[in-house]
Amino acid sequence: MTFDGFKSFFDVPEDNVDRYVFGNNRDAQNLVLNYHYSKRLPASPVCVCTQYRNYIALAAVFFSIPPSRWPEKVVELSRLVRLENIEPKPILTKLISKGIKECKRLGIDLLVSFADSTQGHHGGIYQASSWNYHELRKPRNDGWVIDGEFVPCRTCYGLFGTSGDELLEILHDKEVVKHFDQGKHLYWKSLNKKGKDKAERLGLRSIPYYKEEHDV
C-alpha cells in the first residue's frame, strides 16, 4: 500500500485534508460490505483506491478482472462506494480519477463499467467523469433466488459447479427461481491508443449519454 506521499499511514496528520491510499485494504473492503448495494467484494481486484480524511475511510473504488469473459483483456471498475451521512461528501469523480491514474501506471489500457438500472443507476458519475457510453444492455440472467435469497451466477458456479438450469435439479428440495436484471448501462474508457484500438475491435460505441427525466 502507498500513503499519498507519507512513509506510513500513521504519519498522515489530522488536518481535514482528503488523502488517497492505494491497495486492497480492510477499510475499503468494509465500505463495500457495509455500504455498497451488493454487499459483496469483487473477485480479482487489480487496483483499489481509498479516500481518507483524518484516518476515516470515506470512499473507495475497485478495479477488477471482470467476472464475464471478454474477447480482449479489459479491467472493470467493479465497485464505487462511499460512507453515508458524511459532510462534506467525498468527490467521487476525483477518486475515480486517482484510480484511473494508478491503473494507467500499472499498464492497463481499457476500462469498462456497468451502471445497474435494477438499482436505479444510469451512470451519472461516469458521465461526469467523461467516460464513453456504449448502450443499455438487454436484461440478462444474473443469478438465482434460492429460498428467497439472491445468489449471483458466479457464486452459484462456485458453490454448485453450474449457474444454469441444472440448479433446478441439484436444489430440487429448495425454492429456486431464475433472476434477471433490468439491463445495465455499459460505459468504457481507453487509457491510451492501445486501449482505443482495443475498444474498436470490441465494437464499443460512443453514443450520446442516457439521461433520466430529472436530468433533462
Query: Is the torsion defined by CA of 50, 132, 118, 169 positive or negative?
Result: negative
Whether residues 88 and 164 fall in one domain: no
Domain with residue 81: its CATH number is 3.40.630.30
Secondary structure letter of residue 86 according to DSSP: -
Whether residues 158 and 87 fall in one domain: no
- Categorize the per-residue pLDDT at 216 as very low, low, confident or very high, splitting at 50, 70 and 90: very low
Note the pLDDT tens digit of each residue in 81-138: 999 888 888 899 999 999 999 999 999 999 999 998 877 789 999 999 999 999 998 8
The better pLDDT of the pair 153, 14 is held by 153
Total of domains in the chain: 2
Whether residues 79 and 29 fall in one domain: yes
Cβ partners under 8 Å of residue 139, min gap 6: 180, 181, 182, 183
Least Cα distance to 136 among 152, 154, 123, 119 occurs for: 123
**Strands 141-146, 176-180: parallel, antiparallel or unpaired by DSSP?**
antiparallel
b/e burial code for range 91-102 (CB count within 10 A of at least 16 → b): ebeebbbbbbeb
> What residue numbers bound the domain in which 67 lies?
9-139+183-211
- Categorize the per-residue pLDDT at 213 as very low, low, confident or very high, splitting at 50, 70 and 90: low
Whether residues 176 and 192 fall in one domain: no
Whether residues 150 and 91 fall in one domain: no
